[in-house]
Every structure is written in structure tokens, then in C-alpha cells.
Amino acid sequence: MLANLKLRRIYDGLLYLAESTRNLQMLQSHHHIELELNLVMQGTVTYVVSGRRFTFSQRTLLWLFPQQEHQMVDRSNNAQFYVAVFKPSVIRKYCRTSPYEGLKRDNIEQDGVLSTVLKPESFDLIRRTMDWLMLGSLDSDLLNREAGFGPASDFRFEHSDPDSLNAGLHFLLLLCWRSQFAGKATRDAISLHPVVQRALKSLSEGHSEQTLEELAKSCGASKSYLSRTFHRQIGVPLNRYRNSLRLSRFFEHYQQPEQKTITQAVYSAGFGSYAQFYKVFSQAYGRGPRDCLRAN
């Protein structure tokens, strides 16, 4: 899915700090025309890219190129990670010498994710740069709530000092690229079984209402084999992953102007009952939906 980040012309990119305790959306599989980088501040984040699972821990810098379809499938309860994106025009303008040619590509040569574990001094410099660029940005709760930039959302990224932000993003891009090759490359990847890939595809296409038996049959496997293999390879139980997708769809429906009540969004997202939704929501965010949504 091609995601539109809806960046205004005045901005060369955006930056925000995603936090598990506040980030209310789990992204669908997607890509966008902008180059994206993540810096894991604490905890772990897990992506599926090109049929492989990648888990990244603290101090890891990772790159997602414009044609790389990627999907976050899990994150630890304490996860914090910076997300920065850069418009193609910025890369063309500021990456004019050979050391930065690699930033101009749409994908990487081999399937996977370009990443590195930064040296402590590099991590600290990049972290402080990102922290400084966040001054003047939107409220963190708002950024976390709207970070998915869903197709029905009218959210637009804003910053009180666009010129300062843009200058900082230019510096950040070059700094991170130089640091990429000074760190320790990561190799933590698991190739996904075709059955697991089919399950991910089916669920991401909106078939979360299927029973486990129906899903397993469509993937060409038994219920036990699908459940066991999915959990082992993705790192989370199939039912938990399915509920994460339902939560994502709940927020998409809840944000739509015509959506009148939480209950309507609950059933539109594929939950069988409000009680089921309440339990899943509370486990994910540590408080009930009405309190959480009222706070945001």
C-alpha cells in the first residue's frame, strides 16, 4: 500500500518519537515516496520486510527506502523509537557527492533492511540532535495518535519553526548515513515460511474476522501448525497479532468524521463484542478506551 504522509510543501520531512505507551496505531503494510529512518531508543521493534522478520534493539539505526514495503508487527511494551522521513527532493538537493549516492536509491540490492548498531558516541549525538529538532513540534500525544496517517485522516504535520526543522533534517540525514557505516551491521533476520507470509497477507487485507480454522485453510495448513509456526517466526501469538490489526482498524474508523460512537468503530473494526475490544485495548495501552481516548 502506498501511504500518503500529506507533508506540506514547506516541510522537507518530519520527525517524531513513537512510544508504545502512547502510540495508538499499529501500521499496516505500506511504503511511501519518502525515505524513512528509525532510531531505536529503548526496547525492541519488529518489522516484516520482503518475507523476512527483523527485530531491532536499542541503538539500532535502520533505513526503509521508498519502494520497500514494510510492516511493523510487534514492539516491546517499553519501546521508544524516533521516526524521521525525508522527501526525495531533499535527497537530490543535499546528497551531491559519491559518499551519499546510496541515499538516492528506491530499494536496497538485497532483500532486507539496511541497519547498524551505532557506537555509543554516535548514538548520543544523533539522539541529542533529534531531541533538539523536536522543540517546537506538535504535542507528543497528538503525534503518536496520528502517526499512522491513515487514509481517512486529515492530520497534517506541523512545526513552529519549519526553517530550523528543515536545516536540522538535512544535517540529520547526512550524519545518520555517515554513522551507518561506522557502526556494527545487524544480521538478525528470519525468513518466513510461505504459510506465515500468506497469513500476514490475508490478515493485512482485512480478513481478521476469519476464524482460525478458516484462516488456516486459506493458507494451506492446519490450525495447530499455523499457530505454532506464526508464533515462532513472528514472535507474537497469532491471536495477539490479529487483535493488533483490529485495534489499528478501530482507530481508522474512530477518526472518520461520520463515526458517531466508539461502539460503532469497535464492530466496524472486526471485534466480536465490546467486552473483547475493552480487554484487548486495556492490555495494549494500560487503561480503558474511554479514558485513553478522552485523554487524547
10-residue mean pLDDT series, the chain (296 residues): 87 93 67 95 92 93 93 88 96 93 85 90 97 92 68 76 97 96 75 92 75 91 94 88 83 72 86 89 78 62
184 and 280 in one domain? no
158 and 279 in one domain? no
- The CA–CA distances, whole Å, from 216 to 24, 64, 264, 270, 276 equal 29, 31, 29, 18, 22
Give the per-residue pLDDT at 12. 97
Give the per-residue pLDDT at 29. 80
Is 137 inside any structural domain? yes
161 and 20 in one domain? yes
Give the domain range for residue 223. Answer: 192-235
150 and 70 in one domain? yes
* Threshold 0.85, pTM exceeds: no
Q: 202: domain CATH number?
A: 1.10.10
Q: 27: domain CATH number?
A: 2.60.120.280
Cell readout for 220 is 494451506
What span, in angstroms and rounded, lies between the C-alpha atoms of 172 and 61?
12
64 and 206 in one domain? no
Looking at the structure of the chain, the number of domains it has is 3
Is 247 inside any structural domain? no
120 and 198 in one domain? no
Is 243 inside any structural domain? no
185 and 91 in one domain? yes
Among 154, 174, 189, which residue terminates a domain? 189
Give the per-residue pLDDT at 188. 67
Give the per-residue pLDDT at 151. 47
214 and 184 in one domain? no
Give the per-residue pLDDT at 42. 96
Segment 2-5 long-range contacts (CB within 8 Å, at least 24 positions apart): 2/30, 2/31, 2/32, 2/33, 3/30, 3/31, 3/32, 3/149, 4/32, 4/149, 4/151, 5/32, 5/34, 5/85, 5/149, 5/157
